[in-house]
């Protein structure tokens, strides 16, 4: 090798090492100052511990080749041939919940919410910031593979029906790793626009610490969004047999187009996205009544995000989004006459029987983010003539997080491994079956079901996993077969990461 190219290689190596170091560095102190941090108060919860665990959880959901610094050590490599069925590399990414399918739609939403958590509250995370970035990168590295071929997006690996017919560790799985894709003949605007949102939001996370990666993400986000918008249609029709009822898109793809455009505008500042939002906002449901924010419906997320552009970045043409955001916030204030949200007797926001906690974490995050925007612009929420202050909003969000962590009638933390009492029989294949180190022999598809239906506690503690949670009467049976209440999911944790960073910081724990 010639000296000049050796030197070049060395320079290149040191350059990428610097970037890596920057990405792993702690933020500059004092850049994000909380208005209530002057007098740290005593907290009933260790939010910092919960934050650490909420991020650690993502390592337990990893698919693919695990790195040497993998901390959840009972997990091993899995899905190393994913994509082979379509002659593409789709190794990596996350299992969405307690099964072994890689569903692109909720994985993309998870990524967007993890990124938003870091964008709003990453400056407060201290040493956890690098772990949060790693959790995002594990997803974006995969989403870059899934979108590597222009005009095609690989949106799922695994056959959910066949996967669900087994109770197998991911390391053992032998069900078909069916590869599903969308393209112009089989469009999927919801999954494509959510993927664009994920890539765009993550580009903001890496903008300073890894500009090359960030640019790759944002360029890909732009082309993926263009594809989503040009070839409109729901994947829930073209791929119905595979994606429904698991992650069937019930709310339509309009919400994802609005949400995707909002993230693209935020990531690029390109006025074309702003005019897209202005022209299409109403048609895409900017003022829709629905106040449920989750992997399916992003309308209220888009409202809060666009209200930030108006309140914080002073984009005057988006002034309507302050009203849209206010009407959402008013609809969830507990006990208020203008509110339409249901709460359990113990005080938990209750939207649905199945995986209710995802709405608790997503809504709390939106409330805390909105409180931040209102504070920076010295505004309040206007609910039918009544003013709701940011302070009140923060108290409402804190109450939800505190309930989740144990302040509830069951005296139960719904985060695994946090506090003295937490769910022991979560609906999660890898957590419930003995790990490879303890039981190296393969556990066949159906032989795992005897463990699933048993009363024994899970041998592997999936630390940080937040599960579906109690029913509408605050009851929680801790039954492994009960996926509605006992299954964790990546999109339950993702927005919680941001809220916990905020709470840990405001109580002087970070």
Ligand X SMILES: *[C@@H]1O[C@H](CO)[C@@H](O)[C@H](O)[C@H]1NC(C)=O
The residues annotated with a catalytic role in the active site are: 99, 427, 478, 487
CB–CB of 96/139 below 8 Å?
no
If binding means CB under 6 A, how many residues of this protein chain bind ligand X? 2
Contacts of 427 by beta carbon, 8 Å cutoff, 6+ apart: 98, 467, 480, 481, 482, 483, 486, 487, 488
Question: Among residues 150 and 345, whose Cβ is nearest to ligand X?
Answer: 345
Shortest separation between residue 355's beta carbon and ligand X, angstroms = 12
Q: Shortest CA distance to 146 belongs to which of 120, 113, 179? A: 179
Residues paired with 350 in a beta bridge = 342
Question: Among residues 183 and 471, whose Cβ is nearest to ligand X?
Answer: 471
Instruction: Name which position in 89, 183, 471, 482 contacts ligand X (CB under 6 A).
Output: 471
473-478-480-482 Cα dihedral, nearest 10 degrees: 0
Shortest separation between residue 93's beta carbon and ligand X, angstroms = 30
C-alpha dist (Å) from residue 48 to 40, 54, 133, 509:
14, 10, 17, 6
Shortest separation between residue 471's beta carbon and ligand X, angstroms = 5
Residue window 426-465: x/- pattern of binding to ligand X, with contact defined by CB under 6 A: ----------------------------------------
The enclosing H or E element of 382 equals: strand 381-383
Burial class (CB in 10 A: 0-12, 13-18, 19+), 17: exposed
Shortest separation between residue 346's beta carbon and ligand X, angstroms = 15
Question: Among residues 221 and 341, whose Cβ is nearest to ligand X?
Answer: 341
Residue least distant from ligand X (Cβ)? 353
Shortest separation between residue 61's beta carbon and ligand X, angstroms = 26
Question: Among residues 251 and 458, whose Cβ is nearest to ligand X?
Answer: 251
CB–CB of 298/256 below 8 Å?
yes
Chain length of the chain: 510
* Binding flag, residue 353, ligand X (CB under 6 A): yes
Residues paired with 387 in a beta bridge = 382
What is the C-alpha to C-alpha distance for residues 138 and 120, in angstroms, rounded to an integer?
Answer: 20
Shortest separation between residue 479's beta carbon and ligand X, angstroms = 14
Question: Among residues 431 and 485, whose Cβ is nearest to ligand X?
Answer: 485
φ and ψ of 257, to 5 deg: -65, -40
What is the C-alpha to C-alpha distance for residues 241 and 261, in angstroms, rounded to an integer?
Answer: 29
Shortest separation between residue 353's beta carbon and ligand X, angstroms = 4
What is the C-alpha to C-alpha distance for residues 313 and 495, in angstroms, rounded to an integer?
Answer: 22
Please report, as residue ranges, which positions from 178 to 217 form the binding site for ligand X (by CB under 6 A). Answer: none
Q: Is the peptide bond before 245 cis (omega within 30 degrees of 0)?
A: yes
Question: Among residues 156 and 356, whose Cβ is nearest to ligand X?
Answer: 356
CB–CB of 96/246 below 8 Å?
no
Residue window 269-298: x/- pattern of binding to ligand X, with contact defined by CB under 6 A: ------------------------------
**SS3 assignment for 121-180:** HHHHCCCHHHHHHHHHHHHHHHHHHHCCCCCCEEEEECCHHHHHCCCCCHHHCCCCCCEE
Question: Among residues 73 and 353, whose Cβ is nearest to ligand X?
Answer: 353
What is the C-alpha to C-alpha distance for residues 326 and 318, in angstroms, rounded to an integer?
Answer: 14
Shortest separation between residue 245's beta carbon and ligand X, angstroms = 13
Question: Among residues 355 and 509, whose Cβ is nearest to ligand X?
Answer: 355
Question: Among residues 342 and 444, whose Cβ is nearest to ligand X?
Answer: 342
What is the maximum span of the chain, computed from C-alpha positions, in angstroms? 77
Shortest separation between residue 156's beta carbon and ligand X, angstroms = 25
Helices in 281-319 by DSSP H: which ranges?
Answer: 299-311
What is the C-alpha to C-alpha distance for residues 40 and 166, in angstroms, rounded to an integer?
Answer: 49
The binding site for ligand X (CB under 6 A) comprises: 353, 471
């Amino acid at each position: 090798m010639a000296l000049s190219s050796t030197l070049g290689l060395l320079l290149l190596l040191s350059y990428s090492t610097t970037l890596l170091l920057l990405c792993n560095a702690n933020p500059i102190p004092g850049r994000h100052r909380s208005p209530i941090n002057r007098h740290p108060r005593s907290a009933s919860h260790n939010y910092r511990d919960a934050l650490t665990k909420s991020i650690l959880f993502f390592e337990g959901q990893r698919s693919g080749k695990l790195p040497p610094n993998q901390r959840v050590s009972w997990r091993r490599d899995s899905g190393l041939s994913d994509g082979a069925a379509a002659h593409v590399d789709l190794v990596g990414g996350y299992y969405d919940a307690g099964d072994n399918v890689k569903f692109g739609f909720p994985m993309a939403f998870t990524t967007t919410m993890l990124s938003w958590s870091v964008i709003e509250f990453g400056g407060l995370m201290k040493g956890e910031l690098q772990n949060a970035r790693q959790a995002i990168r594990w997803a974006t590295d995969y989403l870059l593979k899934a979108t590597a071929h222009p005009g095609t997006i690989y949106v799922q690996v695994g056959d959910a029906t066949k996967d669900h017919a087994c109770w197998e560790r991911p390391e053992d799985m032998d069900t078909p790793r069916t590869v599903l894709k969308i393209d112009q003949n089989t469009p999927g605007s919801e999954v494509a626009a959510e993927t664009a949102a994920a890539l765009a939001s993550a580009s903001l996370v890496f903008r300073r610490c890894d500009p090359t990666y960030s640019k790759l993400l944002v360029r890909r986000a732009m082309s993926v969004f263009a594809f989503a918008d040009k070839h409109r249609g729901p994947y829930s029709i073209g791929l119905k047999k595979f994606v429904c009822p698991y992650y069937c898109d019930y709310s339509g793809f309009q919400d994802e187009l609005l949400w995707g455009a909002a993230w693209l505008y935020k990531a690029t500042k390109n006025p074309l996205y702003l005019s897209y939002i202005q022209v299409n906002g109403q048609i895409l449901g900017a003022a829709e009544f629905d106040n449920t924010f989750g992997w399916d419906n992003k309308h209220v997320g888009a409202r809060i995000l666009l209200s930030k552009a108006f309140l914080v970045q002073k984009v005057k043409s988006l002034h309507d989004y302050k009203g849209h955001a206010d009407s959402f916030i008013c609809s969830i204030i507990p006990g208020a006459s203008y509110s339409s949200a249901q709460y359990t007797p113990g005080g938990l926001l209750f939207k649905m029987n199945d995986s209710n906690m995802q709405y608790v974490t997503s809504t709390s995050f939106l409330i805390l983010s909105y409180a931040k925007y209102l504070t920076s612009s010295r505004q309040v929420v206007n609910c039918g003539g009544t003013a709701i202050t940011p302070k009140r909003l923060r108290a409402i969000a804190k109450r939800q997080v505190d309930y989740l962590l144990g302040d509830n009638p069951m005296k139960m933390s719904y985060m695994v491994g946090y506090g003295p009492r937490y769910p022991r029989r979560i609906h999660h294949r890898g957590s419930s079956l003995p790990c490879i180190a303890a039981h190296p022999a393969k556990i066949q598809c159906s032989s795992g079901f005897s463990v699933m239906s048993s009363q024994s506690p899970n041998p592997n503690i999936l630390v940080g996993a937040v599960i579906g949670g109690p029913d509408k009467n605050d009851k929680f049976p801790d039954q492994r077969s009960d996926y509605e209440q006992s299954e964790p999911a990546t999109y339950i944790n993702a927005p919680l990461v941001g809220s916990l960073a905020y709470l840990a910081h405001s109580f002087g724990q970070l």
